[in-house]
Structure 1
Amino acid sequence: MTYEAGGLVGVGMLRIHFTTDDLLKTRVVSSPDPMWELVLSVFRLRRRLAVARYEPWYRQVKAEAARSDLLQRIRLMLMPMIPASGYFPDFLTPEYRRHGGIESIIEAVAGCPRIVLRSQLDLLDRGRGSPWLERLYEADSAAREDLQKLLMDYQRIALVPHWNAIRNSVETDRAMRTRALLDGGVDGLLHSYRPLMRWAPPVLHVRYSVDQTLHLNGRGLLLAPSHFGQGPANSLADPALPPVLVYPAGYDRAAVPVTVRALGRLMGGTRASILIATETATTSGELARRVGVSAATVSHHLSALRAAGLLSTLHQGELILHTRTSTGSALVDAAHTSGT
């Protein structure tokens, strides 16, 4: 489970204590965690906030959900489990499964062991909850099926059509953190999170919805930027679970589309997107997923970018990585600066 601050910023502090082993094991996720994005999107659906980047998403999801009974099911079933502020259950955001799609993750959520289900729902104020939530508390099989169907239906309209934007948010934040790590090691990485977090070794002070202390005890920390994250960071309530810190993806969300548009006039949208995505060393397969084209198309554009001196290819054993040259980076930076 995690805590969402209900729109309040800095109402508490999470103090994360690191050991030397924890610093060695600290890492940033390589792709968005679908269940964290799903859960945090419910807060954006409940409270629009004054954030312009969510406005088109909000309008589209509300309109799509209202065409069926989905909006009613969200209000009667999902929102009581994800209240406007405070606690929501950890079982909604299970440990990230790299090789499983969101369907298998949702299936695992709905099949959560009864003892875990009840212990975590006990922490919710269910006084204003729906009768369905009480049935879920009893681990009723029909209620579990309802939960699985609801999560599947919701993610189809709230996540799937918007996954490119979600992925771009996370990957751009990751590129920023990678640069901070390369320039300053883990110390530089953790310092890069100001003002949301303050690194005062060996403790990371994080703006949070409540006051809480977490000792990593050699387990390391998984840092997870979130497209739908807003305000203070989120974490799991149970300190025995693998430590994860979910924070708002921090970058100028207008910059990437502007750059693609500017470079696209020169070299085409697909080639521009590939050049932008190779800020850090990336495989062909990762590029194909990011840009949304076939492996053959990526290979064709990589050859053209290499021939133009904008991209280089590195071989590390069987691993083949592509990254921008200084000329390619200068071209991207110029497009950012032009803003056209």
Structure 2
Amino acid sequence: MRGHTALHLGTLDDLRLSVAGHQGATVLSLVADVLGGRGHGVPRPWRRMVLEAVPATAGQVLRPLFDPGYSVIPDCVTPTASMPRGDIATQCAQLGDLSANVLLAELEREFGGALPAQWRPVVDRPARWIRAYTQIIQAVWQAFRPVWDRAGPLLERESERVGSAVVRGCADTVLSGLSSRFRLTGDRLLLPDPQNDTYSLDGRRLVLVPVVSGPGTSLFALDRSDLVWIGYPLPGLGRLWEGGPDPRPDPRTDVLTLVVGDIRARILRAAGAPATMGGVAARVGCSPANLTHHCARLEQSGLIVRRREGQHVRLRRTARGDALVDLLT
């Protein structure tokens, strides 16, 4: 880890830990990666989705927020201002009512008389910049909302996972497994950051924010008086990419395929959400009889369950099946 900021957590057993599925953190990660040049690992289909939704000038509008020389997002315009509650629709409504004077006052407090060059166009025409910025946030969210909705079961599962770990006194297991970019060392959580700062939790609540973006997601705010929040990749993100415009994984190199076989790997991926046997057979490309054979073996292994509903038989992955796909994808 080249540069990092250290968050001193104190006694892990005393942590006040919670989870928040916050839409604004996901939008911030998307625009930071796709339009701001920050490497969060957003997959190609989602990058295209964002780029097609925003005007060609979006990168220029957002440049002050993500400039490598001096990056800062004023609190009055950040999509995560309402953390841990709130949604993008409410945030955009508040942005629409934001006074230019409020933005200018916050920039003055941040920079004083040493305003970086990339912020000068904003200061010259703050109302126009606020409108353009709000339109970008709205456009990204409207385009990405279907993906967020599909992520609902994964977000619920993550909340249950973290809650269960906290009840069992396993906060260290949760924190050490948030991301390959984070590192838990004793009571310190090291977060990638060229600023190399040091903060202490000091009894504040620690809010974990699973982000529906890319596997390299790293977001955090450590200076609030009431809480600290950390954004990390939502476990199981790969499931949301399945069925997109990108081709199916190469069976010669796909680890899940190498472990369970091509057809069973495709069945497991197709069963990420409840589906009918007929629908899965069509998606997987095998006969109903062949599908029934493979599903029986997967069910015996505890990876899927089947249930008859009227004239249809529906199947879905179990928690064990989810864990296997997460591990091998």
TM-score range, shorter chain: 0.5 to 0.7
Shift of 1:267: 8.3
Cα pair distance change 1:132/1:90, threshold 3 Å? closer
Cα pair distance change 1:127/1:182, threshold 3 Å? same
CA offsets, 1:119-140, max 9 Å, x none?
A: 346699631346245432xxx4
Shift of 1:26: 1.5
Cα pair distance change 1:199/1:330, threshold 3 Å? closer
Residues 214 and 237 in structure 2, CA contact (< 8 A), matched pair in contact too: no
Distance 1:177 1:188 in 2: 9
Equivalent residue for 1:228, pick from 210, 213, 238: 213
CA offsets, 1:76-133, max 9 Å, x none?
A: 32233233576221521203253x4312112334527443354346699631346245
Q: Write the mapping of 1:248-259 to structure 2, written as runs, cut at 5 A.
A: 248-251=233-236, 253-254=238-239, 257=242, 259=268
Residues 208 and 232 in structure 1, CA contact (< 8 A), matched pair in contact too: no
Distance 1:34 1:255 in 2: 16
Distance 2:225 2:190 in 1: 20
Q: Write the mapping of 1:1-340 to structure 2, written as runs, cut at 5 A.
A: 10-20=1-11, 23-29=14-20, 31=21, 33-46=22-35, 47=37, 51=41, 54-65=43-54, 70-72=55-57, 74-84=58-68, 87-91=71-75, 92=78, 93-96=80-83, 98=85, 100-109=86-95, 111=98, 113-114=102-103, 115-120=105-110, 126-129=116-119, 131-136=121-126, 140=127, 142-157=128-143, 159-164=144-149, 167=152, 170-171=155-156, 173-174=158-159, 177-178=162-163, 180-181=165-166, 184-193=169-178, 195-228=180-213, 231=216, 233-236=218-221, 238-240=223-225, 242-251=227-236, 253-254=238-239, 257=242, 259=268, 261-262=270-271, 264=275, 266=277, 328-329=318-319
Larger Rg: 2
Stretches of structure 2 lacking an aligned partner (at least 5 in a row): 243-265, 281-305
Which is richer in helix?
A: 1
Same amino acid, percent of matched pairs: 17
Shift of 1:190: 2.1
CA offsets, 1:224-262, max 9 Å, x none?
A: 122225547322264546311112334461488453514
Residues 7 and 189 in structure 2, CA contact (< 8 A), matched pair in contact too: yes
Shift of 1:198: 3.0
The ranges of structure 1 where at least 4 consecutive aligned residues each deviate by more than 6 angstroms after the TM superposition are 333-339
Shift of 1:176: 5.0
Cα pair distance change 1:17/1:242, threshold 3 Å? same
Q: Which amino acid aligns with 1:116?
A: E
Distance 1:119 1:22 in 2: 38
Q: Which amino acid aligns with 1:261?
A: A
Question: What RMSD over aligned residues (CA atoms) do the two structures have, in Å?
Answer: 4.3
Number of residue equivalences: 267
What TM-score, normalized by structure 1, do the two folds share?
0.60
Stretches of structure 1 lacking an aligned partner (at least 5 in a row): 1-9, 270-300, 312-323
What TM-score, normalized by structure 2, do the two folds share?
0.62
Cα pair distance change 1:119/1:238, threshold 3 Å? farther
